[in-house]
Amino acid sequence: LLSSLKLTWIMLRILSFIAAILSIAKCCRDPRDKGFNCDDIPSGMRFYHDAKSGRCLPFFFQGCGGNTNNFVDRETCETSCLSSAKSAAEVSKTNATTIIAACALKTSAVLRESATACRTTTDCPAGHACSRGGSCCPTRDHICSLTPSNGNEAMEFVHRPKYAWISSLKNCIRFSYFGSNGNPNNFSSYKECKAFCG
């Protein structure tokens, strides 16, 4: 009886995972489609659900055509797509740790890449060392030698002022960060940048 209950519980978990994935509306899985120009409907800013990032992002809709992954505002997109996507993601959570958390990087970049496991530094790529926690972490010299990267647009069209070390100048410069990705040569202030790389 006990093993029968356990098997039933496992089956219910599997079915709930499948249901969560299937519950993401088809329109939320469609690719972004800017449509085409027409006289009937004005063009303008709309939002679509980006299945790859799992977020609602802005795009310029030309007025006609397109597909149903097209929402008047971010809130409508999130209500339609994110609640079901979030529950599916929660069911299928992995133990992957981001490189920022695993390496305690002092960066203000939003990096989503996972840390690579290691036993010794020889297991790591060039410019990385094996940390006590068993993750390949970029070295200080490697971080400070990276060319500043603006990253990608995140949720909104906002450029944030950040600072990056420029080896040839032996100083930090200010640059615009778009809110996502980029690299660890990205600091919130000139002082933080100088303290880390200078």
- The CATH number that applies at residue 140 is 4.10.410.10
Assess whether 113 and 192 both reside in one domain.
yes
- How far apart (Å, rounded) are the C-alpha atoms in residues 8 and 60? 48
Looking at residue 90, what is its pLDDT?
Answer: 41
Assess whether 62 and 145 both reside in one domain.
no
Which domain-ending residue is among 91, 120, 155? Answer: 91
State the total domains in the chain.
2
**What is the domain range of residue 141?**
99-197
In sequence order, which residues have a C-beta less than 8 Å from that of residue 96 and are 6 or more positions away? 114
The residue to which tokens 């778009």 are assigned:
178
Question: What predicted TM-score, i.e. pTM, was given to this entire model?
Answer: 0.52
Torsions phi, psi of 50, nearest 5?
A: -90, 105
Q: How far is CA 28 from the centre of its chain?
A: 18
Looking at residue 127, what is its pLDDT?
Answer: 93
Note whether 178 and 151 are within 8 A (CB). yes
Angle at 174 between CA 147 and CA 55, to 5 degrees: 75
Which domain-ending residue is among 54, 69, 91? Answer: 91
Runs of H (alpha helix) within the chain? 2-22, 26-29, 74-77, 83-91, 99-103, 140-145, 190-197
Query: Which residue, among 106, 134, 110, has the nearest Cα to 196 in the 3D structure?
Result: 106
Looking at residue 38, what is its pLDDT?
Answer: 78
Positions in the chain short of pLDDT 50: 85-96
Which two three-digit tokens encode residue 193?
């940048």
Assess whether 85 and 118 both reside in one domain.
no
Looking at residue 17, what is its pLDDT?
Answer: 54
Looking at residue 5, what is its pLDDT?
Answer: 67
